[in-house]
Amino acid sequence: MGEYVQLGAVKTWYDEHGAGSGEPLVLMHGGLVDARFFEANTPALAEHFHVYTPERRGHGHTPDVEGPISYQLMADDTIAFLETVIGGPADLVGHSDGAFTAMLVAMQRPELVNRLVLISGGFNKSGEAGPETEWDVPAITQFLGPAYGEVSPDGEDHFPVVATKIGEMAAKEPDLRATDLNVITARTLVMFSDDDLVTLAHAVEMYDNIPNAEFAVVPGTSHFLPQEKPALVNALVLDFLTNTPVPTVAPIRRAPAPENT
Protein backbone atom coordinates (compact mmCIF):
# COMPACT_ATOMS: atom_id res chain seq x y z
CA MET A 1 0.00 0.00 0.00
CA GLY A 2 2.94 2.34 0.52
CA GLU A 3 3.64 4.96 3.17
CA TYR A 4 5.05 8.44 3.60
CA VAL A 5 8.21 9.72 5.26
CA GLN A 6 8.99 13.40 5.78
CA LEU A 7 12.39 14.21 4.28
CA GLY A 8 12.98 17.90 4.82
CA ALA A 9 10.32 19.77 2.90
CA VAL A 10 9.33 16.70 0.89
CA LYS A 11 6.65 14.26 2.03
CA THR A 12 8.09 11.28 0.16
CA TRP A 13 5.95 8.25 -0.67
CA TYR A 14 7.50 4.81 -1.04
CA ASP A 15 6.54 1.16 -1.06
CA GLU A 16 8.43 -2.01 -0.20
CA HIS A 17 8.50 -5.38 -1.97
CA GLY A 18 10.12 -8.74 -1.35
CA ALA A 19 11.65 -10.47 1.63
CA GLY A 20 12.61 -8.20 4.47
CA SER A 21 15.83 -10.18 4.93
CA GLY A 22 17.08 -9.38 1.41
CA GLU A 23 19.70 -6.75 0.67
CA PRO A 24 18.16 -3.31 0.06
CA LEU A 25 17.63 -2.23 -3.54
CA VAL A 26 16.16 1.16 -4.45
CA LEU A 27 14.32 1.52 -7.78
CA MET A 28 14.45 5.08 -9.11
CA HIS A 29 11.86 5.90 -11.78
CA GLY A 30 12.24 8.30 -14.67
CA GLY A 31 10.97 11.83 -15.08
CA LEU A 32 7.22 12.55 -15.03
CA VAL A 33 6.33 8.93 -14.25
CA ASP A 34 6.24 7.01 -10.96
CA ALA A 35 7.01 3.63 -9.40
CA ARG A 36 4.32 1.97 -11.52
CA PHE A 37 6.74 2.30 -14.45
CA PHE A 38 8.64 -0.64 -12.93
CA GLU A 39 5.62 -2.95 -12.57
CA ALA A 40 7.16 -5.41 -15.06
CA ASN A 41 10.49 -5.40 -13.22
CA THR A 42 9.76 -5.15 -9.49
CA PRO A 43 8.49 -8.74 -8.91
CA ALA A 44 11.60 -10.33 -10.42
CA LEU A 45 13.91 -8.09 -8.40
CA ALA A 46 11.87 -8.64 -5.23
CA GLU A 47 12.56 -12.39 -5.41
CA HIS A 48 16.17 -11.59 -4.51
CA PHE A 49 16.14 -8.19 -2.79
CA HIS A 50 14.21 -6.02 -0.38
CA VAL A 51 13.02 -3.52 -2.98
CA TYR A 52 12.12 0.08 -2.14
CA THR A 53 10.23 2.22 -4.66
CA PRO A 54 10.35 5.87 -3.57
CA GLU A 55 8.67 8.51 -5.72
CA ARG A 56 10.49 11.82 -6.05
CA ARG A 57 9.14 15.29 -5.38
CA GLY A 58 6.23 16.15 -7.67
CA HIS A 59 6.03 12.58 -8.99
CA GLY A 60 3.46 9.89 -8.30
CA HIS A 61 2.08 9.93 -4.76
CA THR A 62 4.71 12.45 -3.59
CA PRO A 63 3.35 16.00 -3.66
CA ASP A 64 5.14 18.85 -5.34
CA VAL A 65 6.89 21.50 -3.25
CA GLU A 66 7.46 25.19 -3.91
CA GLY A 67 10.35 26.10 -6.16
CA PRO A 68 12.19 24.46 -9.04
CA ILE A 69 13.13 20.82 -9.46
CA SER A 70 16.77 19.98 -10.13
CA TYR A 71 18.84 16.82 -10.25
CA GLN A 72 20.80 18.00 -7.23
CA LEU A 73 17.64 18.48 -5.17
CA MET A 74 16.46 14.99 -6.16
CA ALA A 75 19.87 13.56 -5.28
CA ASP A 76 19.67 15.26 -1.88
CA ASP A 77 16.19 13.76 -1.39
CA THR A 78 17.54 10.32 -2.31
CA ILE A 79 20.43 10.65 0.12
CA ALA A 80 17.95 11.58 2.86
CA PHE A 81 15.86 8.52 1.95
CA LEU A 82 18.87 6.20 2.17
CA GLU A 83 19.91 7.66 5.52
CA THR A 84 16.44 7.85 7.06
CA VAL A 85 14.51 4.86 5.72
CA ILE A 86 17.21 2.33 4.85
CA GLY A 87 19.78 3.55 7.34
CA GLY A 88 22.76 2.72 5.18
CA PRO A 89 23.94 1.69 1.72
CA ALA A 90 21.81 0.05 -0.95
CA ASP A 91 21.94 -1.00 -4.58
CA LEU A 92 20.52 1.74 -6.80
CA VAL A 93 18.73 0.92 -10.07
CA GLY A 94 17.69 4.07 -11.91
CA HIS A 95 16.00 4.77 -15.23
CA SER A 96 16.34 8.02 -17.19
CA ASP A 97 16.17 10.96 -14.71
CA GLY A 98 16.34 8.36 -11.96
CA ALA A 99 19.61 7.06 -13.41
CA PHE A 100 21.27 10.45 -13.44
CA THR A 101 20.01 11.16 -9.92
CA ALA A 102 21.44 7.81 -8.78
CA MET A 103 24.73 8.69 -10.48
CA LEU A 104 24.97 11.93 -8.50
CA VAL A 105 24.34 10.04 -5.26
CA ALA A 106 27.12 7.57 -6.14
CA MET A 107 29.49 10.43 -6.92
CA GLN A 108 28.73 12.49 -3.83
CA ARG A 109 28.03 9.80 -1.22
CA PRO A 110 29.82 6.64 -2.38
CA GLU A 111 29.45 5.00 1.03
CA LEU A 112 25.67 4.85 0.46
CA VAL A 113 25.85 2.93 -2.84
CA ASN A 114 26.78 -0.75 -3.04
CA ARG A 115 26.15 -1.35 -6.76
CA LEU A 116 24.78 0.96 -9.41
CA VAL A 117 22.58 0.22 -12.45
CA LEU A 118 22.12 3.16 -14.82
CA ILE A 119 19.43 2.59 -17.45
CA SER A 120 19.05 5.17 -20.25
CA GLY A 121 20.40 8.12 -18.32
CA GLY A 122 23.07 10.25 -19.99
CA PHE A 123 25.51 12.62 -18.28
CA ASN A 124 25.44 15.66 -20.58
CA LYS A 125 22.98 17.29 -22.96
CA SER A 126 25.55 17.09 -25.75
CA GLY A 127 24.68 13.40 -26.06
CA GLU A 128 21.02 13.92 -26.94
CA ALA A 129 19.93 11.93 -30.00
CA GLY A 130 17.19 14.45 -30.86
CA PRO A 131 18.38 17.86 -29.62
CA GLU A 132 15.87 19.63 -31.83
CA THR A 133 12.90 18.01 -30.07
CA GLU A 134 10.64 20.63 -28.46
CA TRP A 135 9.50 20.29 -24.84
CA ASP A 136 5.76 20.46 -25.56
CA VAL A 137 3.97 20.69 -22.20
CA PRO A 138 0.43 20.31 -23.63
CA ALA A 139 1.44 17.17 -25.57
CA ILE A 140 3.29 15.73 -22.56
CA THR A 141 0.27 16.49 -20.39
CA GLN A 142 -2.03 14.65 -22.77
CA PHE A 143 0.33 11.65 -22.74
CA LEU A 144 1.22 11.42 -19.03
CA GLY A 145 -1.22 13.68 -17.19
CA PRO A 146 -4.02 11.12 -16.70
CA ALA A 147 -1.68 8.60 -15.03
CA TYR A 148 -0.32 11.36 -12.79
CA GLY A 149 -3.84 12.31 -11.78
CA GLU A 150 -4.62 8.74 -10.72
CA VAL A 151 -2.24 8.91 -7.75
CA SER A 152 -1.00 12.46 -7.19
CA PRO A 153 -2.36 14.28 -4.12
CA ASP A 154 -1.98 17.48 -6.15
CA GLY A 155 -4.49 16.33 -8.79
CA GLU A 156 -4.20 16.05 -12.55
CA ASP A 157 -4.55 19.80 -13.05
CA HIS A 158 -1.16 20.28 -11.36
CA PHE A 159 0.69 18.10 -13.86
CA PRO A 160 1.56 20.96 -16.30
CA VAL A 161 3.28 22.75 -13.39
CA VAL A 162 5.54 19.75 -12.74
CA ALA A 163 6.08 19.18 -16.48
CA THR A 164 7.18 22.79 -16.84
CA LYS A 165 9.64 22.42 -13.94
CA ILE A 166 11.13 19.27 -15.44
CA GLY A 167 11.34 21.01 -18.83
CA GLU A 168 13.23 23.92 -17.29
CA MET A 169 15.63 21.45 -15.67
CA ALA A 170 16.05 19.48 -18.90
CA ALA A 171 16.87 22.67 -20.82
CA LYS A 172 20.20 22.96 -19.00
CA GLU A 173 20.87 19.62 -17.30
CA PRO A 174 22.55 17.20 -17.08
CA ASP A 175 25.81 19.03 -17.57
CA LEU A 176 28.63 16.83 -16.31
CA ARG A 177 31.90 16.24 -18.12
CA ALA A 178 32.85 12.70 -19.00
CA THR A 179 35.89 12.89 -16.74
CA ASP A 180 33.63 13.80 -13.78
CA LEU A 181 32.44 10.18 -13.85
CA ASN A 182 35.93 8.96 -12.92
CA VAL A 183 35.09 9.41 -9.22
CA ILE A 184 32.39 6.69 -9.23
CA THR A 185 33.71 3.80 -7.17
CA ALA A 186 30.66 1.52 -7.15
CA ARG A 187 30.58 -1.40 -9.53
CA THR A 188 28.27 -0.11 -12.26
CA LEU A 189 26.13 -1.49 -15.07
CA VAL A 190 25.54 1.03 -17.86
CA MET A 191 22.50 -0.01 -19.92
CA PHE A 192 20.85 1.65 -22.92
CA SER A 193 18.53 0.69 -25.74
CA ASP A 194 19.77 0.66 -29.32
CA ASP A 195 17.36 3.52 -30.15
CA ASP A 196 17.58 5.70 -27.06
CA LEU A 197 17.21 9.40 -26.26
CA VAL A 198 21.00 9.68 -26.19
CA THR A 199 23.40 8.47 -28.84
CA LEU A 200 25.25 5.21 -28.48
CA ALA A 201 28.52 7.15 -28.77
CA HIS A 202 27.49 9.06 -25.63
CA ALA A 203 26.61 5.80 -23.89
CA VAL A 204 30.03 4.35 -24.73
CA GLU A 205 31.74 7.52 -23.49
CA MET A 206 29.87 7.12 -20.23
CA TYR A 207 30.97 3.48 -19.96
CA ASP A 208 34.57 4.41 -20.80
CA ASN A 209 34.76 6.95 -17.96
CA ILE A 210 33.22 4.97 -15.09
CA PRO A 211 36.16 2.95 -13.74
CA ASN A 212 34.41 -0.25 -12.65
CA ALA A 213 31.69 -0.45 -15.30
CA GLU A 214 30.01 -3.05 -17.46
CA PHE A 215 27.99 -2.21 -20.57
CA ALA A 216 24.78 -3.55 -22.07
CA VAL A 217 22.72 -2.54 -25.10
CA VAL A 218 19.21 -4.01 -25.30
CA PRO A 219 18.39 -4.56 -28.98
CA GLY A 220 15.11 -3.61 -30.58
CA THR A 221 14.04 -1.22 -27.83
CA SER A 222 13.60 2.49 -27.18
CA HIS A 223 13.96 4.65 -24.07
CA PHE A 224 11.21 2.54 -22.45
CA LEU A 225 13.24 -0.68 -22.56
CA PRO A 226 12.29 -1.87 -19.02
CA GLN A 227 8.68 -2.03 -20.23
CA GLU A 228 9.37 -3.16 -23.80
CA LYS A 229 11.64 -6.13 -22.98
CA PRO A 230 11.27 -6.62 -19.23
CA ALA A 231 12.43 -10.25 -19.20
CA LEU A 232 15.73 -9.38 -20.88
CA VAL A 233 16.27 -6.23 -18.80
CA ASN A 234 15.48 -8.13 -15.60
CA ALA A 235 17.88 -10.94 -16.55
CA LEU A 236 20.72 -8.49 -17.22
CA VAL A 237 20.13 -6.54 -14.04
CA LEU A 238 19.85 -9.66 -11.88
CA ASP A 239 22.93 -11.25 -13.45
CA PHE A 240 24.87 -8.11 -12.60
CA LEU A 241 23.52 -7.79 -9.05
CA THR A 242 23.61 -11.43 -7.97
CA ASN A 243 26.87 -12.66 -9.51
CA THR A 244 30.47 -11.66 -9.03
CA PRO A 245 32.39 -10.63 -12.17
CA VAL A 246 33.73 -13.59 -14.11
CA PRO A 247 37.44 -13.84 -14.97
CA THR A 248 37.32 -13.13 -18.69
CA VAL A 249 39.41 -15.12 -21.15
CA ALA A 250 40.82 -12.23 -23.18
CA PRO A 251 40.67 -9.04 -21.10
CA ILE A 252 41.74 -5.77 -22.68
CA ARG A 253 39.96 -3.01 -20.79
CA ARG A 254 40.16 -5.16 -17.65
CA ALA A 255 43.65 -6.52 -18.21
CA PRO A 256 45.70 -6.44 -15.00
CA ALA A 257 48.20 -3.64 -14.80
CA PRO A 258 51.77 -4.81 -15.44
CA GLU A 259 53.77 -5.44 -12.30
CA ASN A 260 56.56 -2.99 -11.56
CA THR A 261 59.97 -4.54 -12.14
pLDDT-based confidence at residue 257 (cuts at 50, 70, 90): confident
Using one digit for the tens of pLDDT, what is the confidence trace for 148-181? 999 999 999 999 999 999 999 999 999 999 999 9
Q: What is the chain's mean pLDDT, rounded?
A: 96
CA 239 and chain centroid, separation:
18
Using one digit for the tens of pLDDT, what is the confidence trace for 81-121? 999 999 999 999 999 999 999 999 999 999 999 999 999 99
Neighbours of 21 (CB within 10 A): 6
Question: Cis ω on the peptide bond leading into residue 174 (within 30° of 0)?
Answer: yes
Going by their DSSP bridges, the two strands 3-7 and 10-14 should be labelled as: antiparallel
54, pLDDT greater than 70? yes
Q: What is the value of pTM for the model shown?
A: 0.96
Domains annotated on the chain, with CATH: 3-242 (3.40.50.1820)
Determine the number of helices (DSSP H) and then strands (DSSP E) in the chain.
Answer: 8, 9
Biggest alpha carbon–alpha carbon distance for the chain? 69
Q: What is the mean pLDDT of residues 134-142?
A: 96
Q: What is the dihedral sign for C-alpha 140, 174, 189, 178? A: positive
Task: Note whether 100 and 9 are within 8 A (CB).
Answer: no
pLDDT-based confidence at residue 261 (cuts at 50, 70, 90): low
